[in-house]
Structure 1
Amino acid sequence: MGVVKLGDVARESRLKWTKSKQDVPIVGLEHLIPNEIRFDVYDINTDNTFSKRFVKGQVLFGRRRAYQRKAAVAEFDGICSGDITVIEAIEGKIVPELLPFIVQTPVFFDYANRGSAGSLSPRVKWEHLADFEFELPPLEEQKVLADKLWAAYRLKEAYKKLLDATDEMVKSQFIEMYYNTHNKQTLESVCPIMSKGITPKYVESSSVLVINQACIHWDGQRLGNIKYHNEEIPVRKRILESGDVLLNATGNGTLGRCCVFICPSDNNIYINDGHVIALSTDRAVILPEVLNTYLSLNDTQAEIYRQYVTGSTNQVDIVFSDIKKMKVPVPSMDEQILFVEVLTQADKSKFELKQCIDNIDKVIKSLING
């Protein structure tokens, strides 16, 4: 078929829901997952003003804040938000199973975002989306391509389920150890060194690198957001070492995040800023991986917010003097060593699974881009 416009092979569905909403799936933007072609979460029997109807097989595209990259195929009938554009394939023009992958391409999201209007809550209209141009093969080839894409996506989903199962296995192993532990000590007693970092004097580049909130994630450190402190100003705080547990001490949405710091093998100095607490454990008492896992538990995070945080809805902070008194379970060292072995093996498996997922994404991208 060559180059076509989206509006040549698909159209916006403007069906309205006029019946009772009792027991009918209700889909809002919050139910669509960025960069995921499927979704399985929705509301039911909730108060809403939605009246837009969708049917199985149509594509739900998040037209508000298109940069969030939300678009997925509907696998059931239901009602959706007005901030979702419902797109359906035109029979004989495009294989319906291929349409979700076209809408999920980065180039389509970028095109949609360029056509969005509004400052606080930009939205894109179907008239703009309909002019999107892309290469489309004949119908016979489309069917073959769609089958390959869905086979790759199902394999990706299988790997993701293995990832989830690996996380659950580690979690259950830890909880079993945790609930069998009656020895509890304060955080300051198991961490002889607890330090909030410096107030940096930032520069464009330096040999003194600053770990900040943006560097700390549940699955480990990410140094792409690292900043630099003026190396001509002496650092009067403790320098970070591998094995330090880093805890975000401020910020809505990031407070409580933690990870075990792994010092890169370079000649740079790594320090934390004043929004990050560095915890150096007494390894004869508790291993860093064990403390980090405990701090990551949902129950522990809830306790931190409930007992050791001050501030308003705009800014919350962990009270440093208070968090020192938090009680931490300390299992036997044999149990801790066994758990770290399980955690290490799980991390290796997860790394391999993530590599497989990345490779599948590359295959999907190569298929859809021809």
Structure 2
Amino acid sequence: MTTRITIRRPDDWHLHLRDGAMMRSVLPETARHFARAIVMPNLVPPVVTAEDALAYRDRIEAALPDGADFTPLMTLYLTERTEPDDVQAAHADGLITAVKLYPAGATTNSQSGVTDLKSVYPVLERMAEIGLPLCIHGEVTTHDVDIFDREQVFIDTVLDPLLRDIPELKVTLEHITTSHGVDYVREAAGDIAGTITTHHLMINRNHMLVGGIRPHYYCLPIVKRAEHQQALRRAATSGHPRFFLGTDSAPHLDAAKETACGCAGVFSAPNTMSCLAHVFEEEGALDRLEAFTSLNGPARYGLAPNTATLTLEKRDAPAIYKAKYDTPDGPLTLFDPGHALHWHVVD
């Protein structure tokens, strides 16, 4: 039985760091295990210009602990006022790694997102020309579509037509949550890949709702039925190059989660690697953990894998993680997998 594995140092291809005091509190947790991360631009106000991205990157780098080896990969927030030339210039300067599409109202701080996809086709066509990836929050936001169906409806009515219109566009469908999403990413003819989160591999909607509402499991896209969780597990552990890790670690203060209208987001950066080793061991796929966390993502984004390594060791004693993290503005709760984690990150 395998009790120790060493992999290339992982990357996180979907991360929320927030800003200010929150960023300074959570950034060290990502930098401890991950070498690079695609940083989401949904700040208030959002990161919409190259100037915004440069300033945000500077704030992130200034907040890194001494000696940390971590590279933030910046993104721009796509709006209906985004100019193709601005996007191309930011890409040419090496400032941005991707552009992020939020359907307006889909998730936290997405109110500045896109309401009419056709209006941003000039930007998307330019991105296709220069090979700049589009990261997509794949949900429709119309009130007549059930929240558990929004990903599938988005794929069928928005994403598939988009890839037919602009087949050269390089798309990452982020945080896929359904078997339909898995099948589409695996089989679509377009240039597409999909990220999968830590928490969607570990929980389903029963964990969030049975026996009482657990607000720290509330996220968007929302967790689905167990059958979808199992489809995600099969995809993540398959080694298929179109699937890789994007934690979507998204911190919110407890005061914003534990309230009558709580925020969506799961903070999982500290214990993700222990969680993933647990999942991959359960699926008999520890030999494919490195592909999911450390190889497929860099290949997708045209980067070399990290040369440094990370070692995990399974021990009788469980790994201990703080249940809550203190920030200057209040406590922040870590994702709870609901059981002990025996895989320890040892270096």
Q: Same fold (TM over 0.5)?
A: no
- What interval of TM-score do these two structures reach, taking the shorter chain for normalisation? under 0.3
What is the TM-score with the length of structure 1 in the denominator?
0.20
What is the TM-score with the length of structure 2 in the denominator?
0.21
Whichever structure has more strand as a proportion of its residues is 1
Which protein, 1 or 2, shows the higher relative CO under an 8 Å CA cutoff with sep ≥ 6? Answer: 2
